[in-house]
Amino acid sequence: MFGDKSRWKVRVRVWIYRDGEKVLGPGRAELLGHIEREGSISAAAKRMAMSYRRAWTLVREMNDRAGEPLVELATGGAGGGGAHLTPRGKEALAQYQRLLTRAARAAQAARHNTRK
């Protein structure tokens, strides 16, 4: 019954847990994307209208919970240094986006696979 695409929309969200703890979700993935583009946690936080403190907490949680760091901080230098995704962080973000795309595509396809 959700087949009419002009009226019905399907929204899909995905979360990734490791050992029962949330590692990635829509907000964290968005934050990683901004860190990758901006090269700093504070600039990324600003893009999301999020406090630096909150962004930093999320980064620390992701790094702790993923088993190895997803974000690496560049220490020193003027401005206190920036931040970038580790190879593992890039992989995690790409994989998250792939899961989300596949899930959303499957949900869209299932709309048309109805008995009515």
The residues that touch a copy of itself, with contacts defined as CB under 8 A, are 1-2, 7-20, 88, 91-92, 95, 98-100, 102-107, 109-111, 113-114, 116
Closer CB to a copy of itself, 82 or 89, in the complex: 89
**Least gap, CB of 70 to a copy of itself (angstroms):** 10
Residues in contact with 35: Cβ distance below 8 Å, sequence separation at least 6, in sequence order: 41, 44, 59, 71, 83, 84, 85
How many residues are there in the chain?
116
- Of residues 16 and 43, the one with the C-beta less far from a copy of itself: 16
Decide whether 42 or 97 has the Cβ nearer to a copy of itself. 97
Q: Report residue 16 as tokens.
A: 């990734």
Half-sphere exposure of 107 (CA within 13 A, CB side): 15
CA pair distance 39, 104, nearest whole angstrom: 29
- Nearest distance in Å: CB 13, a copy of itself: 5
CB of 10 to a copy of itself, least distance (A): 6
Give the nearest distance from C-beta 49 to a copy of itself in angstroms.
Answer: 23
> Distance (Å, rounded) from C-alpha 92 to C-alpha 24?
9
Check if the beta carbon of residue 42 is closer than 8 Å to that of residue 30. no
In the complex with a copy of itself, the residue whose CB is nearer, 74 or 107, is 107
